[in-house]
Amino acid sequence: MTAAPARGRLCPVKKLLVALGIVALAAFAVVGYLHSRYRAFLDAPVTPPGGEAVVKVKPGTGLEALGRQLDRAGVIRDSRIPIGGSVFYLWAQRVRHAGSRLKAGEYLFSGPETPGEVLDKLIKGEVRTYKVTIPEGLRLDEALPLFEKAGLAKASDLLRLAHDPAFVHHLGIHADSLEGFVFPDTYTMAKGLSPKEILTATVHRFRAAWKLAQKVRAPDVTLDRLQAVTLASIIEKETAQPAERPHISCVFHNRLDKHMRLQTDPTVIYALVREGRWDGNLTRADLEMKSPYNTYVIKGLPPGPIASPGEAALEAALHPSKCDDLFFVSRNDGTHVFCPTLACHRRAVQKWQVEYFRHHRHHRRGG
Residue 286: pLDDT over 80: yes
Confidence of residue 367 (pLDDT cuts 50, 70, 90): very low
* Helix, strand, coil percentages for the chain (3-state, nearest 5): 50, 10, 40
**Mean pLDDT, residues 163-187:** 97
User: pTM, whole model, 2 decimals?
Assistant: 0.82
Question: Rounded to 5 degrees, what are φ and ψ at 325?
Answer: -75, 145
Gap between the Cα atoms of 266 and 244, Å rounded: 17
Say if residues 229 and 180 touch (Cβ distance below 8 Å).
Answer: yes
DSSP string, 68-94: HHHHHTTS----EETTTEEHHHHIIII
Residue 158: pLDDT over 50: yes
pLDDT at 24: 58
Question: What letter would DSSP give residue 242?
Answer: G
pLDDT at 334: 85
Instruction: Give the residue among 244, 250, 253, 255 at the shortest CA–CA distance from 337.
Output: 244
Amino acid at 40: A
**Mean pLDDT, residues 215-223:** 97
Sequence-distant (6+) residues with CB within 8 A of 284 are: none
Gap between the Cα atoms of 251 and 228, Å rounded: 14
pLDDT at 90: 87
Gap between the Cα atoms of 82 and 131, Å rounded: 46
Confidence of residue 41 (pLDDT cuts 50, 70, 90): confident
Question: What letter would DSSP give residue 6?
Answer: P
Question: Rounded to 5 degrees, what are φ and ψ at 340?
Answer: -90, -20
Confidence of residue 106 (pLDDT cuts 50, 70, 90): very high
Sequence-distant (6+) residues with CB within 8 A of 309 are: 136, 137, 180, 184, 229, 232, 233, 235, 236, 317
Say if residues 203 and 173 touch (Cβ distance below 8 Å).
Answer: yes
Q: Is 288 helix (H, G, I), strand (E, B) or coil?
A: helix
Higher-scoring residue by pLDDT: 109, 332? 109
The C-alpha angle 207, 185, 307, rounded to 5 degrees, equals 75
The tens digit of pLDDT for each residue in 315-342 reads 999 999 999 999 999 988 889 999 999 9
The tens digit of pLDDT for each residue in 230-239 reads 999 999 999 9
pLDDT at 240: 87
- Alpha helices in the chain, H assignment, sequence order: 12-43, 63-72, 87-90, 115-124, 140-143, 145-149, 155-162, 165-170, 195-214, 225-238, 245-257, 265-274, 311-318, 342-349, 356-364
**Mean pLDDT, residues 84-105:** 87
Say if residues 174 and 165 touch (Cβ distance below 8 Å).
Answer: no
Q: What is the Cβ-side half-sphere exposure of residue 177, based on CA atoms within 13 angstroms?
A: 19
Cβ count within 10 A of residue 122: 23
Residue 1: pLDDT over 90: no
Gap between the Cα atoms of 250 and 260, Å rounded: 13
Higher-scoring residue by pLDDT: 219, 365? 219
